[in-house]
Structure 1
Amino acid sequence: MKNKYLKGAHLSERKFKEILRLFADDLTATQIANISGVSRVTINSYLKKLRHQIARCCETLHPVPAPVIAYDSRQENSQPDHGSDTLVAVKPEVERLVKPVIFGICRLPDRLYTEILPDVTRSMIHAATRGRSVLETLGATERLRGFNGVVDLGQYRLYRLGSSITDTLNGSPLMDDVDAFWALTKHRLAKFKGLNRNTAYLHLKECEYRFNNRNEDLYGVLLELLKTYPLTLA
């Protein structure tokens, strides 16, 4: 069946557009399945592929040459890293033995980007927020200073590391957008009651993509993305 947005699909282009619009409206997989009449398994498969494409798009805009941590489908068939098969809690009562996901938020004049920081610990964040020089020996100070904020999903908390610098484009403090992004992200992630570590990255990049396109018609933006980089079932 011909579908320029989803190669190899046994689904009409019209039906796929319906699913895409529901995704753009931020409905859950269960809601999309109920409304579209497509099975939950199929919806989950399509949404995962879509999130991979969104993550790749975000990665191309990453401001530093070093790639961000990528979680791709090959990891699902490989032996998981330590703790990778556990849920990443996004509420305060997280089990303390589970290593939390920590990510940085950086605000540029035209957009915001995020990066998961697997080598950053809570003690490093606490030291950075207090201005302690002990981080110099850990080699993390300069890296953390590149972010306006750092989020510990285990504590469900944003640590502000940047100053209230004014955005020269619209005159608003940069931290306002960091706070707004975290408000969007914690609201979206709370719906999952916890995330698998292998999908946390994809959901984070989806939040980044949604925030950076918050003033656009997200459905139209996604259509343009998939015209250039269609999904494939292969």
Structure 2
Amino acid sequence: MKNKYLKGAHLSERKFKEILRLFADDLTATQIANISGVSRVTINSYLKKLRHQIARYCETQHPVPVPVLTYEPRQSDLTSDHDSDTLVAVKPEVDRIVKPVIFGICRSSDRLHTEILPDVSRSMIHAATRGRSVLETQVATERLRRFNGLVDLGQYRLYRLGQTSDTHQMDDVDAFWGLTKHRLAKFKGLNRNTAYLHLKECEYRFNHRNDDLFMVLLELLKTYPLTLS
């Protein structure tokens, strides 16, 4: 069946556009499946591929080239009784032994960019917010200076680094974190395996917040269609 947005799909272009519009409206996989009549397993598969494409696009816009963190869904992700895009919060009682997911936010021109920082610890964030460096992690500490804010997703907390006097810039950082926190709360927490994809989706949505996201996504998929192979 011909579908220029989704190669190799047994799904009409019209039905795929319906799914894409529901995604643009920020509905969950279960809601999209119920409305569209397409199975949730299929919807989960499409949304994963769509989020990968969004992440790749966001990385091409990043002012500093960074590696794309990929995630391949396990079969259990596609067949679980819960939405595969549901996020599971880090529990406080294991917070000390589970490495937190930390990401940086920087503003370049009129866009915000995010980057997950696997080598950054909470102690480094605390040192950076106090204007101190940590000797054994000097290189990573220097990297933090590129960012306007850091977020510890385990604690759902934004740290403003205060490296700019541009209040508009910091307002955007605060607004982005507000959007991201709201979306993650809606999905009921954080799943470490899909944190990167959800983060990049939030980045994409924020940078296109004044646009018709459905039309923006259509343009993206005209250039970079999804494939099921």
Residue number in structure 1 paired with 2:49: 49
- The 8 Å contact of residues 164 and 173 in structure 1, kept in 2 or not, is answered as no
Q: 2:190 aligns with which of 180, 186, 195?
A: 195
Aligned to 1:101: 101
Deviation at 1:102, TM superposition (A): 0.3
1:153 aligns with 2:157: no
Distance of aligned partners of 1:94 and 1:110 in 2 relative to their CA distance in 1, 3 Å threshold: farther
Cα shift readout 1:210-233 (whole Å, capped 9, x = no counterpart): 000001110000000000000000
Structure 1 residues 30-77: Cα deviation after superposition (integer angstroms, max 9, x where no partner)? 111111111111110000000000000001111113x2341143x859
Equivalent pair of 1:88/1:154 in contact (CA under 8 Å): no
Equivalent residue for 1:215? 210
Determine the C-alpha separation between the residues in 2 that align with 1:93 and 1:154.
Answer: 8
Runs of 4+ in 1 over 3 A off after TM superposition: 87-94
Segments of 5+ residues of structure 1 without an aligned counterpart are: 78-86, 167-171
Determine the structure 1 residue equivalent to 2:79.
none
Q: Is the 8 A contact 2:32 2:43 kept in 1?
A: yes
Instruction: Give the deviation of 1:29 after TM superposition.
Output: 0.6
The residue matched to 2:103 in structure 1 has which SS?
strand
TM-score using structure 1 length:
0.87
Matched position secondary structure for 2:57:
helix
2:59 alignment partner in structure 1: 59
Report % sequence identity: 78
Partner deviation per Cα, 1:127-163 (whole Å, 9 max, x = no partner): 1111123x24412221111100000001110000134
Q: CA deviation at 1:192?
A: 2.2
SS in 2 for 1:195: coil
Please provide the CA RMSD for this pair. Answer: 2.0
The residue aligned with 2:5 is 5
> 2:6–2:228: 8 Å Cα contact kept in structure 1?
yes
Q: Would you say 1:123 and 2:123 are equivalent positions?
A: yes
Aligned: 1:183 with 2:178: yes
Map 1:64-143 to 2 at 5 A: 64-65=64-65, 67-73=66-72, 90=89, 93=92, 95-96=94-95, 97-133=97-133, 135-139=134-138, 140-143=140-143
In 2 relative to 1, CA 113–29 (structure 1 residues): closer, same or farther, beyond 3 Å? same
Which residue identity is paired with 2:221? L
Instruction: Give me the whole-angstrom Cα distance separating, in 2, the residues matched to 1:89 and 1:154.
Output: 10
In 2, the alpha carbon distance for the partners of 1:9 and 1:115 equals 32
Q: CA deviation at 1:91?
A: 6.6
Paired residues, number = 217
Q: CA deviation at 1:119?
A: 0.3
Shift of 1:100: 1.1
Aligned residue for 1:112, secondary structure, equals strand
Please say if residues 89 and 154 of structure 1, whose CA atoms lie closer than 8 Å, have aligned partners that are also in contact: no
- Residue segments in structure 2 that go unaligned for 5+ positions in a row: 76-85
CA distance in 1, matches of 2:48, 2:59: 16
